[in-house]
Amino acid sequence: MPVIVRVPTQLRSLTGGKGEVAVEATTAGEALEALDALHPGFAERLYDEQGTLRRFVNVFVADEDVRFAKGLDTPVAEGETVSIVPAVAGGS
């Protein structure tokens, strides 16, 4: 069974409008790499020049922020969801 990657509205132009993409992966990082392989253009939007997640990109496995787990090495079980969540700012 594959892993489901949830794609935010801002990046759905890369997936032809799909909000979810099924990929084969065992870690959050592998899921993002597989997503980029299927729909090129994600890597440049998710990673900085050093290959780390951009500050404004949050990745969750189930409901756990990978930054508080094992980073992109966070394991992903079959059928689990990896969510890409852009950070939002605001206020007055």
Rg of the chain over all Cα atoms, to the nearest angstrom: 13
Q: What are phi and psi of 7, to 5 degrees?
A: -105, 130
Over the stretch 14-52, which tens digit does the pLDDT of each residue have?
A: 999 999 999 999 999 999 999 999 999 999 999 999 999
- Establish if 92 belongs to a structural domain: no
CATH number of domain containing 28: 3.10.20.30
- Establish if 32 belongs to a structural domain: yes
- Establish if 91 belongs to a structural domain: no
Dihedral sign, CA of 39, 45, 46, 52? positive
Which amino acid belongs to residue 27? T
Q: Which domain holds residue 41?
A: 3-86
Q: How many domains does the chain have?
A: 1
- Establish if 33 belongs to a structural domain: yes
- Establish if 39 belongs to a structural domain: yes
Over the stretch 46-74, which tens digit does the pLDDT of each residue have?
A: 999 999 999 899 999 999 999 999 999 99
Write down the pLDDT at residue 20: 97
